Structure 1
Amino acid sequence: MNSDRLQARLYNLRHNRFFEFFVVSVILFSAVVIGAKTYDIPDNLLTVIGWLDTGITFFFLTEVSVRFLGEPDKRNFFKDPWNVFDALIVVVSLIPVEDSELALVGRLIRIFRVLRMVSVVPELRLLLNSLFKALPQLGYVIMLMFIIFYIYAAVGASFFAPINKVLWGDISISMLTLFRVMTFEDWTDVMYETMTVYSFSWIYYLSFIFLTTFAFLNMVIGIVVNVMEDEHAQEAKVQAIADGEPTIQDLSDQIKELKAMLQQKQ
């Protein structure tokens, strides 16, 4: 009974808005501490920062423990990849590697603690999950973009190499130049240079920019937005089930039952 009461209290604590806000504040403070270590600061202040870093690590350990102990079904805790990520970051942060050859690895792990912001804030977690789920569809868009890049790079290397070998010497360098054009990094300088020899080469650049920067970018945004809408709908459905509210499918089933009853009475 006492264990159930403790579990219920920890469950309420982990879902408490003030507790979540405090955890986010500590994560932000951890990011400030990490940034402070990159400056030349006095040794005494560096010692204070080291103690603060240790305190932050133990706070994260306590927070993960609260979330684990507050989980009604402990087996479901590690089914969530974000819980696994948080636990791994905290456990590795506890390993004393500052004075060893793995000191650089220890610093990198502490830098990645800032990513815990994603696991704590539901909106950020939903956004990142949507990006991951959109990767299969984005893969085909990237493949098509690579084909366009390859074709335009081959054309550019064939025609513009005599003008500037640094930018168009071979197909790999041409692809890098086209990436520069796509990101609008001084692309007009590249275009005007080739226009001195091929006056209509502006068609080459404008068509490439239209296909990559405008068309493909809108396709990527459309795919991500669609996946995010599906994720929002799925989360709303799960929340409705958890709250005991009827979902659209439940309402549809009830309407069908009412129609069947009316038809039987007629």
Structure 2
Amino acid sequence: MDISQTPPSKWRQYAKRIVEHKAFTPIIIAFILFNAVIVGLETYPNLYDGNENVFFTLDRVLLWIFTVEIALRLAGTHPVSSFFKNGWNWFDFVIVLAGHIFVGGHFVTVLRILRVLRVLRAVTVIPSLRRLVDALMRTIPAMGNIMVLMFLVFYIFAVIGTILYADISPEYFGSLQATMITLFQVVTLESWAEEVMRPVLAIDPWAWFYFVAFILVGTFVIFNLFIGVIVNNVEKANEADQDNEEDGADPLIPDTNTKELQQLREEVSELKEMLRSMQHNDKT
């Protein structure tokens, strides 16, 4: 018999009711935010030094709270294997499990980094953040093509800049590597005019053409391609969510009862046919 067709036990149903309670998610979010505050306070030496035991105890308590949360979610999922079909559930499980594994004194730095990563669990709890991250993940294939185009633009302008301005400004254009870093500063529009362009412009009056051309291509074209791809995928994700909401499904939460509902509908339709046939036989 298929395990997914067997009804869940009473304690699994109880765990599911706890997880689906309207106060469960806000409480977990509150603990995640509290964990973020604790991690931030650890960066202040005047607060952390001398209070290591207090911070360690709070971290242990929070870790066990998150462990109980994962256990309840596992217990409330039927069958349990469907819990691991969702990548976000894997992320939660690995983060919490790693907190127990790297608890030794030799992994203090790793453990403190994991405490910071635990804050990312807010993404898995808040549906709107999950949708945004999923939309960003969909942009990765398109981002690859844009990155290649961006590298070509940077490389061409870096070679030209090194040839033209290596003698004028060796600090910024003395080598291909230095020019690439300079162009990255220029494309972010961070202090590029006063520090980079004007010293070169004072010696070469035509240097403005090089910088303006690179800013037009690098900033206003390439960066807008990034923004356009991201916005397009976010809109697609929102449209998909709206379609799934109309169908009564959440694209980010695995629907473990879809097969069961379909089988129940088939059984109900078969029962209706049997009743109709029985009524027809009675009449005849």
The TM-score bracket by the shorter chain reads: 0.7 to 0.9
Q: Does 1:165 align with 2:155?
A: no
Equivalence for 1:62? 68
State the aligned residue count: 243
Q: Which residue does 2:58 correspond to in 1?
A: 52
Equivalent position to 2:96, from 90, 94, 98: 90
* Alignment correspondent of 2:254: none
1:192: how far off?
0.8
Return the alpha-carbon distance in structure 2 between the equivalents of residues 41 and 177 of structure 1: 40
**2:8–2:78 contact (8 Å) kept in structure 1:** no
Paired with 2:141 and 2:8, the residues of 1 have a C-alpha distance of: 44
Name the SS of the counterpart of 1:41 in structure 2.
helix
Q: Partners in 2 of 1:237 and 1:16 — Cα distance?
A: 25
1:123 partnered with 2:143: no
- SS across alignment from 2:119: helix
- Structure 1 residue 155 and structure 2 residue 160: aligned? yes
1:13 CA drift (Å): 2.8
Distance change in 2, residues 1:129/1:75 (3 Å): same
Structure 1 CA distance for aligned equivalents of residues 121 and 188 of structure 2: 31
Does 1:112 pair with 2:117? yes
1:220 aligns to what?
A: 226
For residue 235 of structure 2, what is the amino acid of its counterpart? E
Alpha carbons of 1:125 and 1:42: their partners in 2 closer, same or farther (altered >3 Å)? closer
CA contact 2:41–2:48 (8 Å) conserved in 1: no
Following the alignment from structure 1 to structure 2, what is the Cα–Cα distance between the partners of residues 231 and 2? Answer: 34
Tell me the CA shift for residue 217 of structure 1.
Answer: 1.8
RMSD: 2.1
Aligned to 2:15: 10
1:206 and 2:212 aligned: yes
Structure 2 residue 246 is matched with structure 1 residue 240: yes
Task: Check 1:210–1:15 CA distance in 2 against 1; reply closer, same or farther (3 A cut).
Answer: farther
Percent sequence identity is 32
The one-letter code matched in structure 1 to 2:169 is: N
The verdict on how the C-alpha distance between 1:195 and 1:232 changes in structure 2, with shifts beyond 3 A counting, is same
Give the structure with higher Rg (CA).
2
Residue in structure 1 matched with residue 138 of structure 2 by the alignment:
133
How many Å separate the matches in 2 of 1:142 and 1:16?
44
Return the offset for 1:42.
6.6
Alpha-carbon spacing, 1:231–1:196, altered in 2? closer, same or farther (3 Å):
same
Give the deviation of 1:10 after TM superposition: 2.7
**TM-score, scaled relative to structure 2:** 0.80
Q: Is the 8 A contact 2:42 2:48 kept in 1?
A: no
Q: 1:33 is paired with a residue of what secondary structure? A: helix
Comparing both chains, which one has the higher relative contact order based on Cα–Cα distances under 8 Å and sequence gaps of 6 or more?
A: 2
C-alpha change, 1:41 and 1:135, in structure 2 (3 Å) is: same
| Cα displacement (A) at 1:178 | 0.5
Please tell me whether the aligned partners of residues 102 and 110 of structure 2 are also in contact (alpha carbons under 8 angstroms).
Answer: no
Q: Which moved more, 1:44-53 or 1:224-233?
A: 44-53
Q: Distance in 2 between matches of 1:226 and 1:16?
A: 34
Which residue does the alignment assign to 1:258?
none
- The residue aligned with 1:197 is 203
Question: Could you give the per-residue CA deviations for residues 199-256 of structure 1, whole angstroms, max 9, x where no partner exists?
Answer: 1211111111111111122211111111112222222333333369xxxxxxxxxxxx
Structure 1 match to 2:151: 146
